[in-house]
Structure 1
């Protein structure tokens, strides 16, 4: 690498020794490479923040609309009381004692409504967690950009920059940053499951449209992950495939081996 840098036309050769030219060229090449690195990840974090904000608003509206399923309808109590008043007015004094005065006291939400709401709240929580992670990611990137060089001679600044870059690799910075879009995708999946389950028990003909859309989205995303794992030249690279590669699943055979291991562990348990 030193020979390439020494022969590079980027370096200013006049009046400098080989060592100075090396570190000057190193700084210029590093600046170009890290500029692309910072721009890419900052752009990813901006996308996560923007989409999570819109998605959280939609999810919250959906949760509010479903919230009526977890509480008793006040009109039921009103109708029951009016019925008793009518019966009393007609002289049927024994009728009021045959039914509860307040139907809400014996009402409870169905298990389907509870699970649907739980999944919707889980979706909202995961999307907010992704947004929180994106904010932290932008802070990490800003700190790295501000402190990567420091002060001193070109050699000292170059060594400090290399130390910072090695720290990114040791602490798996890219894997952590790639998790935030994955969390957002998982949140979207939970939202699809929740709205599909809610519609399924209300209007199945409408629910089929949502279920088909969710299934198509899951299959399409799974296809892009499998395609990206089959070849690094595949253009359908996603944060999920990047995380899988960093976890050691860098090919289809590795994915099948991991799935087989997980299945055997589950069967043994």
Structure 2
């Protein structure tokens, strides 16, 4: 073989090794997002259903109101003409219940959006895996393959895929806020336990992100670290900010 052929053979072996690691890593991440999103969405849905009754009138209250009116009519204290046809028409949910449910629904929406993104991510990876090989000479195949690999960087594929776990993490935080607020108005001693757990998890996550930004050798790397680095946040910017303050 000539030098050009040996070069493209070496390029193919190196590219296959790199692509194999790339596809395996992202496929595993998408599988984790799908599994966790499915389990978490079921828990979140149960919470929404359990608290959904606070957003609609209680049928027993309507029945009791009608019975009270009938008793008043029987006693002569109320005429049938002045009887309200819809005793529960003046009912409205409390603002607390509304915003708790709003946060819970936002959490569920983010979880489903993360799952949808993971499905798209697996489809994109499958398309890339199927289209990375082409016909032609080794040089033509190598050039097309390199073009597809360069396209991953040009179109920020890694950042887009890394944003799906971040959506799931935000969804988990919103769920913690909603369940803490809901329990706060029911039993504050239990609410403090939930709040302490949420705060501890948030602090732990924040410290892990800061540690990962301080050095690329830190083992606590996560999707949010990659996104923050893309936005220009790293150890240098953090150090300069701390010096200014």
Shorter-chain TM-score range: over 0.9
Is 1:173 aligned to residue 157 of structure 2? yes
Cross-structure match for 1:57? 42
* Distance verdict in 2 for CA 1:212–1:96, change over 3 Å: farther
Structure having greater relative contact order (Cα 8 Å, sep ≥ 6): 2
Cross-structure match for 2:208? 224
Cross-structure match for 1:110? 94
Structure 2 residue runs of 5 or longer lacking an equivalent are none
1:100-128 deviation line (CA, Å, top 9, x unaligned): 56431111111111111111111111111
Post-superposition offset of 1:88: 3.6
2:133 match: secondary structure: coil
Q: Separation in 2 of the partners of 1:46 and 1:109? A: 39
Q: Separation in 2 of the partners of 1:175 and 1:120? A: 27
1:236 match: secondary structure: coil
Structure 1 residue runs of 5 or longer lacking an equivalent are 1-15, 261-269
Task: Map 1:140-151 to 2 at 5 A.
Answer: 140-151=124-135
Is 1:213 aligned to residue 197 of structure 2? yes
Q: Separation in 1 of the partners of 2:69 and 2:199? A: 50
Post-superposition offset of 1:93: 2.7
TM-score by length of structure 1 reads 0.85
Q: Separation in 1 of the partners of 2:210 and 2:122? A: 29
- 33-42 vs 200-209, which moves further: 200-209
Q: Separation in 1 of the partners of 2:90 and 2:236? A: 55
Check the 8 A contact 2:103/2:175 in 1, yes or no. Answer: yes
Post-superposition offset of 1:224: 0.5
1:140-198 deviation line (CA, Å, top 9, x unaligned): 11111111231111111111111111111111110000000000100111111111111
Post-superposition offset of 1:95: 8.2
1:13-72 deviation line (CA, Å, top 9, x unaligned): xxx111111111110111011101000001001111111111111111111111111011
TM-score by length of structure 2 reads 0.92
Q: Separation in 2 of the partners of 1:97 and 1:255? A: 77
Match of 2:148 among 164, 169, 174: 164
1:233 match: secondary structure: coil
* Distance verdict in 2 for CA 1:112–1:256, change over 3 Å: farther
Cross-structure match for 2:2? 17
1:38 match: secondary structure: helix
